[in-house]
Structure 1
Amino acid sequence: MKALRFDRIGSLDALTLTDVLRPDVVAGEVVVRVHAAGVNPSDFKNVLGKFPYTTVPRIPGRDFAGVVVAGPCALVGQEVWGSGRELGFVRDGSHAEYLALPAEGVARKPATLTFAEAAASGVPYLTAWEAVERTGIQAGTTVVLIGMGAVGTAAYLLAVARDADVVVGVRRSEHADELNTRGITAFVLDEEFPARVHERFADGAEVVFDTTGFWLPTAIKALRAGGHVAVIAAPSDGHERVPVLEFYRRGATLIGVNSARHDTIASAVALSRIGELFESGALPVPTGIVTRPLDKAVETYRDLAEGATDKFVFTNDLND
């Protein structure tokens, strides 16, 4: 089978598209024919050595959607999707034509999503789902969402599906204008944004979710008493100065969200619940996906490393 592979870490020059043996099924596992595989920033950062637990040689890729071709009879032929912390790090991942993983690590793919749409949704929705769950967002919860990338968009849609009251902060005024035109209440981020939050929510927001890693100190000022701040990123040096006095006087809670903590089995449980929301129509079909054949994988990794922000998905045209 064709697979993207790296045999050392530290440079994208280690990536090659090569022929490797198709994985054999073993007890308790399935083999999935990968129709589509999502590409996330963690994938190229993995090759660059940002995750010290990665073992090589390795096929990267966390997110996938495809068809089970070997394993328990009840699963063979099923359309599935999945993700998980081990894929691409300590066992071979999804940027290949076939993938082996635990049988409990796959969830039934929502019938309303194509393979590409499902593969694009793994890490973004799993990350957003954890943030929404752990901050207790429900009907009526007042939420400030900072950033509208893949995770931010997923978090917004999940929060709205729960009937939360959400406002969005973005960096560019033209982006804020575009979101407001679409009926999404948005403002431009600056040091004064807590004042605008308090204009909307008099006591402050119950939840602030910073998906950018740059607004934690300011975000605390936008919180109401007893509020929660969730973060998924940090400045490049990993440190931030926090106004601790304001933080503890509010009785606030800081929540770190990291989807890489969850293995394929835990991810499958969450994806099953997320899939129900897609099938019910509570979540819209993902848009803005850029599909590329697996043959373009090395080029795509380089595009991401150079700053591309597209949501890329590798697709496989397999002939069985």
Structure 2
Amino acid sequence: MDPTAKEVVKEVPGLIKVYKDGSVERLLCSPYVPPSPEPDPETGVSSKDITISENPSISARLFLPKLITDHQKLPILVYFHAGAFCLESAFSFLHHRYLNALVSQAKVVAISVEYRLAPEHFLPAAYQDSWAALQWVVDVELSKKDPWLFNHGDFDRIFIGGDSAGANLAHYVALQAGTQGLKCGVKILGAFLSNPYFWGSKSPRSDQRPPIDHHDKSVPSLIWDLVYPSAPGGIDNPLINPFGAGKPSLAGLGCSKILVCVSEKDELSDFGVLYFDEVKKSGWKGEIELFEVKGEGHLFHIVDLGKENSKILIKRLASFLA
């Protein structure tokens, strides 16, 4: 056996290690859980897994809340999970539990997209998968393949949303929808971006907060280098840093309303606030709102679903989707 086979060639401490032999060790992932075709006893939400594409491999978990009538039509949420583009899953315990809670309160049909992860599939694979999944959902002919979506989804009320890396993906598909359009003439009504993963070489509010020491060695920078090592412009690539000259105009976002949620103690929060400010200044014609949760860190509401602030945030997201 090659003595260097298990040599670590790249890592983000505490999150993920990539070895010389090509193997990957994910240090921070919640376990897989199966779907629940029968209603979840706590939330009343049913779930099942579907295949969107065989090549590339894109799947999803569908969530259906308890229905009042057999013919009830509900808003459709296309959701992109968190996990730094390299961790977690639509089928993981944390995201399954979170979507159960959100779907139960918001009364939406949700499609949680299982996009390909880095480093086995470097970016922009996740962006391509997310766009393909949204196009599949809005294609009415294709959606007939799934009775939950076809019978109970209201295609006049399409939402997209995500947390952290998933919020970044939601931003990307909203831009794509604005510039390319969606199949069947479908429009996105709204998008929520919760604890969005945007970053750049300069801190956006260095005049108000201490500058970030060793910015290129920060966790968000290390993650980006791992998941997209060939990114033109590095940490200032438009996919991770959509602000400034030469970037696609935020005025082109293809939705009618946006909710940006940030957490006070999240190191990404300044970029989330900057996103809110830049969209407002861009000339975009929709309605945008900023919602800040005090005293909490990154993805607190997914990791600790039962705490009071988590309930407050999920209630706000549900209100936005209603």
- Taking structure 1 as the reference length, what is the TM-score of the superposition? 0.25
- Taking structure 2 as the reference length, what is the TM-score of the superposition? 0.25
Structure number with greater Rg is 1
Q: Which has the higher contact order (CA 8 A, sep 6+)?
A: 1
